[in-house]
Structure 1
Amino acid sequence: MKLKEDLNPMLLLLFHLMVWIYTFITFLPSYMLSRSTGTDKDFYGSEEERAKRAKARPLLGHPEGPYRAVSAIKGLMASLHPGMDTLDKMFEYAAKRFPHRDCLGTREVISEEDEQQGNGKVFKKVVLGEYCWLSYEEVHTAASQLGSGLASLGQRPKNNIAIFCETRAEWVIAAQACFMYNFPLATLYSTLGGPAIAHGLNETQVTHIITSRELLETRLKAILIEVPRLQHIIVVDNTPTSWPGYPRGISVHNMAAVQKLGARPENAARERQQPVPSDIAVIMYTSGSTGIPKGVMISHSNIIAGITGMAERIPNLCEEDTYIGYLPLAHVLELIAELICVSHGCRIGYSSPQTLADQSTKIKKGSKGDTSVLQPTLMAAVPEIMDRIYKNVMTKVEEMNCVQRTLFILAYNYKLEQLAKGYSTPLCDKLVFNKIRSLLGGQTRVLLSGGAPLSAATQRFMNVCFCCPVGQGYGLTETCGAGTISELWDYSTGRVGGPLVCCEIKLKDWVEGGYRSTDKPHPRGEILVGGPNITMGYYKNNAKNQDFFVDENGQRWFCTGDIGEFHEDGCLKIIDRKKDLVKLQAGEYVSLGKVEAMLKNCPLVDNICAYANSDETYVIGFVVPSQKQLLVLADQYGIRGSWEELCNSKAMEELVLKVITEAALAAQLERFEIPRKICLSPEPWTPETGLVTDAFKLKRKELKTHYQDDIERMYGGK
């Protein structure tokens, strides 16, 4: 994605001359710096050379596979460290190897205040101090005491226990306690609604739940009457110490009090039942893009395999690394990422999307966000967050004066060319991109993207402006988050890399959708993932377990429902999804996911959901517009009104539709794939609205219900 310049020819020529002189002067020092940091051309190679390197090969030479990583051709890797086959052993190993190193960090809250906005809304703002750290030894002791305390409160091995809590250090301490004492941990998203929470707690028959004070008072308290088996609530916050007003039969405890109970000599001496690799470690409830959440049963050996596969793709991972944790720990991507860090002695500093950066919504103006203070070297992100960063920075670039903007564009394009040749640009990074890089703390060396496809424009932008590779991955809760991750030296876009060393991938013909493994130039079909990372199935849901099967060799497989194609170098590209396919009245098949992915690149679109009825002849769409871009468009055509009035304006709908149609044609969508009518949403879709999951995937059923009146209007009242 090259950026365009808009200067007169003479000035443009002058800038190009400056770039040529810069290239000439800096070539030798840049080359030497590249060699000293291990990023020389011999290691990376040119883009063309990188594209030829084999990442995976079909084992039997068949186009459908199975495909296996080149580094794992002889057999799938099954263990992270010798003998570390369960999560309690893994953490004990880390605590003994890195006892005094920082493990889990939380920022001190100095002050909180309410700030009134111009529109009358009140936002809570915080001023935060430094990170306070617990060492590996301290975390191990805390987890051991908590596990002992839970056992003293009647929690038994192999009996489920639930955690319903925001991402924070106490979440990981509680999880490690459960792993140590063989309490299967049922995880619930903090944004789930009351009925979904009650469903998960009743299905798993839990008697103990670990939660936070805020979630207890705002979510859990209202549904306690619907969860008759619940007896003990453990609150991770230290205050208050007494909890009156709860139903008879339910005891509420502070986590510190339970740890104190577990530390008593008579309880600490109690022998614990250690898990075996096949025992369930986690029952992970998906946030559910359709229907009620399903609980995925994940064994200790599944997680160890997933950690092994993903860690192999992160070069030089060691105790010197710092990871920032802010995504939901109830999501498999964040849980596995943090367990990888713990297994290698890294430190994890906690954050939230509202305090992540200096400009985040809860950070008081003039205060530092979490990335500025923590300066992480490792970070995971869902594409929605990366897309926001990209659009915010590009908006600021557009606001620059002509000279600044052209300098940025030339530097951007220059770096793209150097990356394609296999060279790094340390001086250019320092002079031009250092300020942008500082948005994530300035030390990030690896960004992992998962949860949804990442657009090519955003991936290129992160590569260039944040001066670090983006490892785009593919995995599901059912595969323990593991599937593929692109090699960090592979800067190609739109692909998710080759299979990890813990699994292999096959393609299954989907005749109805027109995808076959015999397709040219690339074999295509439904993606099947097999290996030790494939989970044990859905908890108490045999009807859904048909997506899992065991082959003649005893290997477990999962049918993902996603459509992929394998390229010559063994890289996988996600091209469609079976559930997103709709057949229009005239017989054309429309992939809603494909339409959305293409149109998300339009600057006017912050988010979009394509929709089609099988008894209709055209596609429609719900669009969350970019506020800045929509206001500019309205100003161009002299349309006035509040934000809500603009979004409800028929004239604005038509103008946005025109821009979207042009973007769709430029992206080479077929005419029948292009939305013919749209409606604009003044409110963004967040997990709190219930219209997207915690990983920001669209909840199509909820979106259809929410926009039912608009659907009827756009389809002429049918």
Structure 2
Amino acid sequence: MAIPGAIPLPDNTDFTRQSFQVPGTKRPGQTAHYRNAFFGFVDINTPGVFTTLPEVFDAGYSIAKDKSFLGHRPVLSKNPLTHARHYVWQTYAEVDERRRHIGSAVHKLFENGTVGGGEYPTVGLWSLNRPEWVLIDLALNAYGKVGVSLYDTFGDQTPFSIDHAHLTLIFTSSDHLTTLLKAAPRHPHLKLIVVIDELEPETKRFAAAWSQTQGVKLQELSELEEFGKKYRCNVIIPSANDIATICYTSICTPSGVLLTHGSLAVATQSNLYGYSIGADERVTLLSYLPLAHIYERINQTVVIALGGAIGFFTGDPLRLLEDAQILKPNYFPSVPRVLNRIYQAATVAGNVPGLKGAIFRRAVQAKLDNLRATGAITHPLWDRLVFKKIQAVLGGNIKLVVSGSAPISAEVLDFLRIALSCRILEGETFRLSCDSTSGGTVGPPQPAAELKLVDVPSMNYTAEDRPFPRGEICCRGSCNFIQYYKEVDEKNTKEAVDAEGWIHTGDIGEIDDHGRFRIIDRVKNIMKLSQGEYVALEKIENIYSRIPAVMQVFVHGDSLKSYLVGVIVPDPVAFAAFASRILKRTVDAADTQAMNEFCGDPRIVDSLLKELNAVTANGLKGFEQLKRIHLSLDPFSVAENTLTPTLKMRRRDAYNKYKTALDALYELPDPPHSESASSKL
């Protein structure tokens, strides 16, 4: 049994040596293998580590049996939708009882043949983040079932996953019930739908009658729990090698990733090394990133292992800050697109004319100088005068922010460190480090992973580069996934995991002289311009997205052209201020008709592009800068399938949305290389 709790850094830690090279592992075309220098290497066989997910829950239960665990804001009114200004909580003990009832019921249904018949005892979960999602997942973990998380939007992945994973039982929220019943004839193996919510009597009668015509049984979660009480049985202890979940990727061609209890448990354990919120302070996390993605799942298992509390957002992104201000979390896992927006909002609010703006700029510079000189993130004067309001946006109690899923700039990270006065770490929780002592790095490998860099000749990155080796980051360890599901995905498995067990991450990294890794580029989403230059589209988007006027950006390239074009979705308030300056008259951001007209005004488009490229001149080469742009106030979104649930751009769908405008930009005469031209649309 693992010892619960976080594992602090050793005394007298030497931060100049954060990872070490494993002797005898250097080969041509790649670096040596690097391991964590603080804690050494940890795997499934290391004494005292978690080996299954029920062990993780048991650790949290032993710490916080009667303390709050899963919380939500109750709905007070549906019309208009109104939520309580407080959270209602279930304790670890209450969740334990409910997971046993749900798990016993599901086990009995598989046992008596009501559901099942696939290669694995798979169970679908289709809902936004909420307490019941975690409750059901804990039940599946404890009773030997394989959870399959479905992304909340009904994109291509959902019907694919239902068939691919042979789902005969799906738990769903009521908002998906109609869609699922309509789709049932296309999934004849689907036998039972369990609705998480309590349905209105009339709705329940109608849905039950409809489900019968579709050959599917329908139950509410409360009814299933009562069934489980009747057939309650003991927890079925899994082994480390048992499959715990099939996690489907959110890319255009979905694939099911097989994850074992051991890989998830060791990933959880690995994140506990060096984890710190504060002395004797209980961890509280705000859950809003999709639980269908492994990033949020591991963040939550870490909180569970520590006996912490998880408060769920209302489901409405527009209420996210309100949720944070009520919950007052101290742990805030996030993604670059969210953190960039916080950065943009803070800098726009602070950089104003007059004394207020001067004080803000002085406070920022003073704290940045102090951060870089001493590592300090607090200041007795400037925190009270300037940054307290920024900190209050997320509840005023944030101690740890983790940025994952995609790279984020060192500039943004350092600003947020001094503005929020908290530790901000970067890295992919499931693979790489989540600790760093320098802005822009992801620190050393996690204890459960070893890393190496492999040459990428097409991008001129090699292990022999100076001053630091560079290449694609490859990862190996007990926390890795084992393979993609089914024979049809063997090709994907071979591309992602090589014969020696190394995952090729697609991230380009370098290793500095302290043994810290820095993500500097991406292998994926690389395209070649007509003159032979390679460009990394994601990297370029990330740089443009740091500009306050830019809410979203999509960069597009054509291999028959020598330059890039793009779509800019401007921030309405910043765009109105910009248009006011160009047109020399006041522009109201709420005037939708005028704002849309400005998006096609050549004076504004030209001026904005010129300003954007002036800001990015130091970070991008000339051929990497946008030469023409199309402006639109219609943002990319998860609902329309142009963003993944983790807010990454779905490139094919994003291009299709603006295909006419982007193609038209390339139909214009080539722009002069010495200056930027704009959309004439």
TM-score, scaled relative to structure 2: 0.88
The answer (yes or no) to whether the contact 1:212–1:237 under 8 Å persists in 2 is yes
Q: Which residue of 2 aligns with 1:671?
A: 622
Q: Which residue of 2 aligns with 1:30?
A: none
Q: 1:349 and 2:349 equivalent? A: no
The CA deviation at 1:696 is 1.1
368-377 or 304-313, which moves further after superposition? Answer: 368-377
Q: Which residue of 1 aligns with 2:108?
A: 152
SS at match of 1:642: helix
The CA deviation at 1:424 is 5.1
d(CA) in 1 for partners of 2:49 and 2:300?
21
Partner of residue 277 from structure 1, selected from 232, 235, 240 = 240
d(CA) in 2 for partners of 1:716 and 1:414?
49
413-422 or 700-709, which moves further after superposition? Answer: 413-422
d(CA) in 1 for partners of 2:479 and 2:530?
41
Q: 1:542 and 2:490 equivalent? A: yes
The CA deviation at 1:545 is 0.8
Q: Deviations over 1:559-599 (max 9, x none)?
A: 11221111111111112222222111111122222222222
Q: Figure out how many residues of one structure are paired with residues of the other and give that number.
A: 632
d(CA) in 1 for partners of 2:144 and 2:523?
37
d(CA) in 2 for partners of 1:633 and 1:130?
39
User: CA 1:670–1:527 in 2, change beyond 3 Å: closer, same or farther?
Assistant: same
Partner of residue 181 from structure 1, selected from 143, 156, 167 = 143
d(CA) in 1 for partners of 2:400 and 2:43?
23
The answer (yes or no) to whether the contact 1:80–1:304 under 8 Å persists in 2 is no
d(CA) in 1 for partners of 2:151 and 2:140?
18
Superposition pairs for residues 240-251 of structure 1, below 5 Å?
240=200, 242=204, 243-244=207-208, 245-246=210-211, 247-251=213-217
* Cα RMSD, aligned residues only: 2.5
The CA deviation at 1:113 is 4.0
Counterpart residue identity of residue 301, structure 1: G
The CA deviation at 1:352 is 4.3
Q: Deviations over 1:268-308 (max 9, x none)?
A: 14x564321111101011211xx222111110001011111
Counterpart residue identity of residue 185, structure 1: G
Q: Which residue of 1 aligns with 2:459?
A: 513
d(CA) in 2 for partners of 1:505 and 1:332?
20
The CA deviation at 1:701 is 1.0
The answer (yes or no) to whether the contact 1:584–1:617 under 8 Å persists in 2 is yes
User: CA 1:261–1:111 in 2, change beyond 3 Å: closer, same or farther?
Assistant: same
SS at match of 2:427: strand
The answer (yes or no) to whether the contact 1:525–1:565 under 8 Å persists in 2 is yes
The CA deviation at 1:111 is 3.0
The answer (yes or no) to whether the contact 1:503–1:529 under 8 Å persists in 2 is yes
SS at match of 2:535: strand
419-428 or 519-528, which moves further after superposition? Answer: 419-428
Counterpart residue identity of residue 307, structure 2: G
Q: Deviations over 1:142-179 (max 9, x none)?
A: 01100111223334694111111110100000001100
Superposition pairs for residues 310-709 of structure 1, below 5 Å?
310-315=271-276, 320-352=282-314, 354=316, 361-362=318-319, 369-399=322-352, 402-422=354-374, 423=376, 425-428=378-381, 429-474=383-428, 481-487=430-436, 490=437, 492-540=438-486, 541-549=489-497, 556-638=501-583, 642-667=594-619, 669-709=620-660
449-458 or 644-653, which moves further after superposition? Answer: 644-653
Q: Which residue of 2 aligns with 1:25?
A: none
d(CA) in 1 for partners of 2:42 and 2:235?
32
Q: Deviations over 1:517-540 (max 9, x none)?
A: 011111111111000011011112
Q: Which residue of 1 aligns with 2:190?
A: 230
User: CA 1:623–1:328 in 2, change beyond 3 Å: closer, same or farther?
Assistant: same
The answer (yes or no) to whether the contact 2:250–2:645 under 8 Å persists in 1 is yes
The answer (yes or no) to whether the contact 2:50–2:266 under 8 Å persists in 1 is no
Counterpart residue identity of residue 347, structure 2: M
SS at match of 2:664: helix
Q: Which residue of 2 aligns with 1:10?
A: none
User: CA 1:143–1:712 in 2, change beyond 3 Å: closer, same or farther?
Assistant: same
Q: Which residue of 2 aligns with 1:71?
A: 38
Q: Which residue of 1 aligns with 2:673?
A: none
**Percent of aligned pairs with the same residue?**
27
SS at match of 2:459: coil
SS at match of 1:689: coil
The CA deviation at 1:398 is 3.4
The answer (yes or no) to whether the contact 1:110–1:129 under 8 Å persists in 2 is no
The answer (yes or no) to whether the contact 1:231–1:249 under 8 Å persists in 2 is yes
SS at match of 2:524: helix
Q: 1:298 and 2:270 equivalent? A: no
Q: 1:197 and 2:158 equivalent? A: yes
Q: Deviations over 1:640-677 (max 9, x none)?
A: 7622222233333222211122123233x222221111
Q: Which residue of 2 aligns with 1:268?
A: 232
SS at match of 2:616: helix
d(CA) in 1 for partners of 2:258 and 2:224?
27
Counterpart residue identity of residue 519, structure 1: D
The CA deviation at 1:408 is 2.2
Residue ranges of structure 1 left out of the alignment (5+ in a row): 1-41, 45-49, 115-124, 356-360, 476-480
d(CA) in 1 for partners of 2:386 and 2:660?
49
The CA deviation at 1:128 is 1.7
SS at match of 1:500: coil
Q: Which residue of 2 aligns with 1:15?
A: none
Q: 1:89 and 2:68 equivalent? A: no
d(CA) in 2 for partners of 1:655 and 1:222?
50
User: CA 1:79–1:132 in 2, change beyond 3 Å: closer, same or farther?
Assistant: farther
Q: Which residue of 2 aligns with 1:56?
A: 19
Q: Which residue of 1 aligns with 2:87?
A: 131
SS at match of 2:247: strand
